[in-house]
Chain A
Amino acid sequence: MQSIRKYISSAWQALFGDPVRAFGVVSLVLLLALAVTPTKEHFSQWHSYQRKYLSLIRDRGDAVSMRRRFEPGIHQIWMPELGVVDRCTTCHLGLSEASLADEHQQPFRKHPAIPHSVDGFGCVICHGGQGAATTVSEAHHSERDGEAPILPTRYIEAGCGQCHQNAMAGTPQLNLGRTMLARYGCVRCHAVTRPDGTKMMPTDHPPSLVHVADKTTREWIYSWLKDPQAYAATATMPNYKLTDQDASDISAYLISSSKPQPGDTSAASVKNASAGSATNPADGASLYGQSFCSSCHAVQNAAGNVVGGDVGPELTRIGNKVKPEWLNAWLNNPRIYDATTPMPHYRFTPRQIATLADYLHSKTDADYGANVQLAAATPQQIARGRRLIIDGGCAACHEINGVQTPQNFAPDLSTIGSKPLAQIAFLPGMEHTVSTYIVSKIRQPRAFGGAVKMPQFALSNAQTDALTTALLAQTGRSRTIPDTLRVAAAEDTNYQPAGHAGKLMTELACFSCHRINGRGGDMAPDLTYEGSSVQRQWLTDFLKNPNTLRPSLIRRMPRFNLSDSDNKELTDFMLAVYQTSAVDPDTAPSATNPPQVVEQGRQLFYSKFACQSCHIVDTKTDKGYIGPTLTQVGSRLTPAWTYAWLKNPQALRPGTAEPNQKMSDEDARALTAFLMSLKGTSGKGAKQ
């Protein structure tokens, strides 16, 4: 103790013994204190990156100009209206240096070409992370309160989705994810509101279960509930991991609550036709093909590949599912069982119905559900089934007698992409990012605890990533950006044609494949201007017997057995209503033209514009296989449409693949004259 005190007093004497020495010591301490900040800055991380950058560009051919563009110090992109304070460019110095395209190490890589500039939007809007930080760990990996690590590259399209609610060509993953949110029933349980306040609406068609006992058996429902994908590999219904008892009770309630629908099972004439004589299975297969059922329905072939469309349910084991009498009634008129089905009313003859029904019933897997033996349901079971249905949220998708559609059944996901990390219960060993949380939650929802109701979806990794991308785009930031930057979602209109023709179009489910006035599918051509496009006789004939316009397509227009009066009604309506003012019959060339003009058009067709690369006008010489066959185009299209189309195809049908050839009026007239001369002969050239 004594010695320490002695030591301190001698040190004090040594440093501050006389005023001059004291002044010197104090000055030295002050100088050192002042030097701390510059020293810290000199040895800071960003400063060393800037030195590395300078030595990187030193040896390059354009070092002088690059050196001139380099500014030392902390760089900052500040955009108050976007809430952007980004200092990323302090270290990422080569983002817009074209000649650094060959540099592969961060942080000096050139930014890949995208439609926006870094100066206009900064970095964190797309990439996430902390823009204001100036160290790698804080900027990229911070997990502190209110902060989140940067977005992994695989979900980068989520950045685009904050402003762009529409589907863009450059963001396939985001587009797929959004389609899936609507298509897989996600938005039926979870509310997802877009930044502009509109809600994402479901686009799927989960079957109503109010008459389910007409259609199928309790045993099938039981097997289906236990594992939907075991019945059909492409089933979109998720697996609720039900116990045997749960599945048994739910199926008991569904069957007991089902109310019979008159007409569902009692199509007497159909039954008689079926009973009349045995049908030929080969006829069934060919009718299935001719009716283009595979455009919408898939079937798993012997090689295990699922072939066909995904508009309707997979039919691989349809024989296990539906009752024969229901199938007959359904094929006779699907709208009796389900008024809103996307399936067209084909107007099959009783004989055709019997043939098709027998063919479909042959699609039965003897092993499927073979061991299912359910004892008759007790009232307790039925009551328990109803409670399970309410608890499980089944009625969020399916209409069920005696159960109300639940509101806000699952958490709102409108801002899930910026959910604070502190509010997320991560599993042990899980990376602390929102993206990892979402992916894990989609892949294994029940891993987050036994009380989680979310079912197990059967999704590929690419689908999970797409869904995650779409959800990560739902950020808090997207709600605060200026309205001018927002691009609204393109949603279907609720266009409904009026009158008897409108009723016919609903029955034929035209909108399942065709788009008209902003509503409908994209499998077949947009018919908004069909009335300007085609000739009356052709349309009448086509509706009667749709022949092939595009030989390379495997999805084609099916044949409906329309009556002559219905056919005329539909033709009249389409010709009168689906018109465009862009096609002007008055200024267009006439349907018949002098031979020399036709010949001039032929020359243009084959030499200058080389149309034969995609189209066939002479089946002997031409082979073009992309656009429609034109052997009879003079009987199909109107001259006014043809002329306007040649001048600018995209103006009439946005996004069509035929390029706009910048044709002069004279060339377009001559080509129209040539095309109008191609009347073909009935049947010739169409049977490619």
Chain B
Amino acid sequence: MMKRVNTEVLRSSACLALLAVVALAGCKSGTQPNAALKPTGTGAAIVETSGGHQVGATGTALKDPVVVQVNDEQGTAVPGALVQFQGPAGVSFEPAAALTDTSGQATTAVTLGGIAGRYQLTAVTPGKAKPASLDVIETALGYQQRLGAILADKYCTRCHDPESSAERVSNYDNLETKPHAFTDGNTLNKMSDADLTAIIQYGGPALKRSALMPPYEKTLSLAEVRALIAYTRALADPPYQPAGTVYAHK
């Protein structure tokens, strides 16, 4: 009898230990260096070429790959250097490790994890003296934020996003009072959810701002307004820190 109980104890404590390891490893689930890759070059620095600051849905692949470049001390691209990509739990890279090509660049396709929020990905190259690394930030949108993104695309970004595309010309330059971009964390982070709700529902004049911002109370439901706010919060740069209860941590 005692023996059975003992195995039970052992099993659950082993499980707990394993969970703890997974939880700890989750913070930086590193990828094993690929044995097949034989680096022929070593760099001193690593810089981002493209693919940072993308926004995708949770659990899905980002639209564009992340491309980084390995440079030596003089800033010249280094071909054949090993680059390893790491990220929080749930993020996957294809490939997770690569050698830089002839122009010193390494490319990986990123699939975001299942949790909404900001993902800090790291590209590491073993340098001559010490490893060089680069942080790349990507954003994953959950259900609510993605609904907000779709609504924003329909109702908001034509004015709030100064960038034009071939399919869609921005109205930003045509406006006398310039609207704030949704990424403008310096301004939007200071506004409470209540203020943002008010300005979306009742228009600019509700906060003594420009009437160029129309009221959407009758057009969007409260859930849709909340989704829009959640989306702007997810995009904010610098990141939005909710001003809630501050908990005392031991």
Contacts and interface: CB of A to CB of B under 8 A. Distances in A.
| A and B together in one complex | yes
Interface of A: 29, 32-33, 36, 39-40, 43-45, 48, 59-62, 99, 101, 104-105, 109, 112-115, 152-156, 169-170, 172-173, 307, 461-462, 465, 552, 554, 607-610, 613-614, 623-626, 648, 650, 657, 659-662
A465 B245 contact: no
B171 A613 contact: yes
B57 A45 contact: no
A39 B211 CA distance: 68
A154 B212 contact: no
Interface stretch (B47-55, B70-78, B149-157): B149-157
A249 to B, nearest CB: 39
Interface in B200-242: 210-219, 223, 226-227, 230, 242
Interface string B30-71: 000000000000000000000000000111110100000000
A679 to B, nearest CB: 24
Contact of B1 (A33, A105, A609): A33
Contact of B217 (A44, A613, A662): A662
B142 interface: yes
B151 to A, nearest CB: 7
A613 B26 contact: no
B131 to A, nearest CB: 26
Contact of B155 (A48, A307, A608, A657): A657
Given A33-B1, A109-B115, A659-B218, A170 B169 contact: no
Nearest to A157: B143
B244 A99 contact: yes
Given A36-B1, A657-B154, A609 B211 contact: yes
Contact of A554 (B12, B154, B159, B166): B166
Contacts of B61: 461-462, 465
Contacts of A650: 219
Contact of A101 (B147, B213, B242): B242
Contacts, number: 135
B150 A172 contact: yes
A61 B26 CA distance: 27
B8 A39 contact: yes
Given A61-B246, A465-B60, A624 B171 contact: yes
A153 B214 contact: no
B200 to A, nearest CB: 10
10 contacts: A32-B1, A48-B16, A60-B247, A61-B247, A112-B143, A113-B226, A154-B60, A169-B150, A172-B150, A462-B60
A351 B178 CA distance: 50
B168 interface: yes
A102 to B, nearest CB: 8
Contact of B171 (A307, A461, A614): A614
Q: For chain B, which range describes its interface: under 10, 10 to 19, 20 to 34, or 35 or more residues?
A: 35 or more
B210 A662 contact: no
B143 A624 contact: no
A614 B214 CA distance: 10
B136 interface: no
Given A462-B61, A554-B166, A112 B12 contact: no
Contacts of A610: 210-212, 214
Contact of A43 (B12, B117, B169, B211): B12
Given A172-B150, A552-B168, A114 B8 contact: no
Interface in B58-109: 58-61, 63, 90
A609 B171 contact: no
B214 A659 contact: yes
A105 B9 CA distance: 24
Contacts of B146: 170, 172
A400 B79 CA distance: 55
Nearest to B174: A623
Chain B CB within 10 A, most for which of A29, A32, A112, A552: A112
A625 B174 contact: yes
Contacts of A657: 154-155
B5 interface: yes
Nearest to A622: B174
A42 B216 CA distance: 54
Contacts of A29: 1
A112 B211 contact: no
A152 B111 CA distance: 12
B167 to A, nearest CB: 7
A67 to B, nearest CB: 14
Contacts of A105: 23, 26
Contact of A153 (B58, B63, B226, B249): B58
A154 B8 contact: no
Contacts of A462: 60-61, 63
A307 B166 CA distance: 10
Contacts of A40: 5, 8
B250 interface: yes
A172 B174 CA distance: 31
Contact of A626 (B8, B115, B158, B247): B158
Contacts of B90: 153
Contact of B159 (A44, A155, A613, A648): A613
B215 A659 contact: yes
Contact of B223 (A36, A115, A155, A625): A115
A404 B78 CA distance: 61
Given A59-B249, A659-B219, A613 B60 contact: no
A61 B12 contact: no
A104 B214 contact: no
A662 B248 contact: no
Nearest to A105: B23
A152 B113 CA distance: 10
Contacts of A101: 242
B21 interface: no
Contacts of A626: 158-159, 171
A44 B12 CA distance: 7
Enumerate the 8 nearest inter-chain pairs by beta-carbon distance, A residue then B residue, closest first: A153-B114, A153-B59, A623-B174, A154-B59, A660-B218, A610-B211, A613-B212, A112-B142
Nearest to A58: B250
Nearest to B8: A43
Contacts of B191: none
A655 B182 CA distance: 23
B15 interface: yes
Contacts of A461: 61
A465 B57 CA distance: 12
A60 B248 CA distance: 6
B216 to A, nearest CB: 5
Given A113-B230, A552-B168, A624-B174, A169 B116 contact: no
Interface string B127-171: 000000000000000111011001100110011000000111101
A349 to B, nearest CB: 31
Given A32-B1, A113-B230, A115-B223, 20 more contacts: A48-B12, A61-B246, A99-B247, A112-B142, A113-B144, A114-B144, A152-B59, A153-B90, A154-B59, A155-B59, A462-B63, A609-B214, A610-B214, A613-B213, A625-B174, A657-B154, A659-B155, A660-B218, A660-B219, A662-B215
B143 A113 contact: yes
A624 B170 CA distance: 10
A391 to B, nearest CB: 36
A294 to B, nearest CB: 11
